[in-house]
């Protein structure tokens, strides 16, 4: 005895096919929008102290290396201790309530709990020193922080993004002494300058897995 008509089977096949298409479409859409350029670019957390890079690096012209002292000597740029802040703020705005946590940190020795913005997975090795000394400016990865009141992530920092630069580093290179000149404007094609630096200094960024995964 036939329980269902033949057309029910056809409807079931059509429904199942549509279900598969919707499922595959959803998976594809999720994979697309979950990429770093959509999930991480623009990330700008609230920090425990409202520090303005625009004021310090932009208006006052402070060099990045004054605060991020490890950027030329080690793999990590480093977060400045409160002592660095107090070099100025022991005299400048020394009683400002906005700097209360900095003063407390300085007096107690307990670090301020800054929220990290640019974060790489633990299995990725990135060496700030190697990039800075090669002539890769802070701007290439962090953007014009000297124009940011609140720092935000401007690049995806994904493997594909890094490899694109390693395969064609010329546009990101400048004379090493200018890496912290965030407002530097080349007087000619920056790619041409980069190629000259690559040839003169023997710059050949690795693209093998062990360069970043150690």
Pairwise pLDDT comparison (39 vs 214), residue with the higher score: 214
Tokens read off for 73: 């000597």
- Residue 78 and residue 129: Cα distance in Å, rounded? 11
**Which whole number is the average pLDDT over 187-195?**
96
**Which whole number is the average pLDDT over 1-26?**
74
Going from the C-alpha of 63 to that of each of 40, 57, 99, 212, the distances in angstroms are 26, 6, 21, 28
**Which whole number is the average pLDDT over 1-12?**
66
- Residue 51 and residue 169: Cα distance in Å, rounded? 32
- Residue 157 and residue 36: Cα distance in Å, rounded? 7
Question: End-to-end CA distance of the chain, in Å?
Answer: 67
CA dihedral 169, 175, 180, 63 (to 10 degrees): 160
**Residue with the two structure tokens 């709990």:** 113
Q: What is the pLDDT of residues 146-190, one digit of tens each?
A: 999 999 999 999 999 999 999 999 999 999 999 999 999 999 999
- For residues 64 and 71, the answer to whether their CB atoms sit within 8 Å is yes
According to the model, what pLDDT value does residue 33 have?
A: 54
Q: What is the pLDDT of residues 89-111, one digit of tens each?
A: 999 999 999 999 999 999 999 99
Predicted confidence (pLDDT) at residue 71 exceeds the cutoff of 80: yes
Contacts of 193 (CB under 8 A, 6+ apart): 170, 173, 174, 175, 186
Predicted confidence (pLDDT) at residue 27 exceeds the cutoff of 80: no
According to the model, what pLDDT value does residue 34 have?
A: 56
Model confidence at 51, in pLDDT bands (50, 70, 90)?
Answer: very high
Q: Where are the domains of the chain?
A: 9-39, 53-79+114-208
Q: What pTM was computed for the model?
A: 0.79
- Residue 100 and residue 116: Cα distance in Å, rounded? 20
Of the chain, the percentage scoring pLDDT greater than 90 comes to 78
Predicted confidence (pLDDT) at residue 144 exceeds the cutoff of 90: yes
- For residues 106 and 82, the answer to whether their CB atoms sit within 8 Å is yes
- What radius of gyration, in Å, describes the C-alpha atoms of the chain? 25
Phi, psi of 205 (to 5 degrees): -60, 135
According to the model, what pLDDT value does residue 39 have?
A: 55
Pairwise pLDDT comparison (14 vs 212), residue with the higher score: 212
**Which whole number is the average pLDDT over 42-63?**
95
How long is the chain?
214
Tokens read off for 99: 């700097």
Mean pLDDT score across all residues of the chain: 90
- Residue 25 and residue 3: Cα distance in Å, rounded? 34
According to the model, what pLDDT value does residue 182 have?
A: 96
Predicted confidence (pLDDT) at residue 1 exceeds the cutoff of 70: no
Tokens read off for 148: 């940011």
Predicted confidence (pLDDT) at residue 58 exceeds the cutoff of 60: yes
């Amino acid at each position: 005895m036939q329980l269902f008509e033949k057309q029910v089977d056809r409807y079931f096949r059509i429904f199942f096919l549509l279900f598969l298409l919707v499922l595959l479409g959803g998976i594809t859409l999720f994979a697309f929008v979950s990429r770093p350029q959509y999930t991480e670019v623009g990330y700008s957390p609230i920090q425990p102290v409202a520090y303005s890079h625009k004021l310090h690096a932009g208006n006052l012209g402070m060099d990045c290396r004054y605060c991020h002292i490890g950027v030329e000597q080690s793999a990590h740029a480093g977060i400045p201790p409160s002592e660095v802040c107090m070099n100025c703020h022991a005299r400048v705005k020394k009683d400002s309530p906005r700097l209360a946590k900095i003063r407390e940190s300085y007096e107690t020795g307990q670090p301020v709990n800054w929220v990290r913005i640019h974060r790489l997975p633990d299995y990725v090795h990135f060496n700030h020193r190697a990039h800075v000394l090669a002539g890769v400016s802070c701007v290439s990865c962090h953007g014009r922080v000297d124009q940011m009141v609140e720092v935000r992530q401007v690049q995806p920092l994904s493997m594909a993004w890094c490899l694109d630069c390693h395969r064609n580093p010329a546009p990101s290179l400048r004379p090493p002494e200018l890496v912290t000149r965030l407002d530097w404007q080349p007087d000619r094609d920056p790619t041409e300058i980069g190629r000259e630096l690559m040839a003169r200094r023997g710059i050949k960024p690795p693209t093998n897995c062990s360069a970043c995964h150690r």
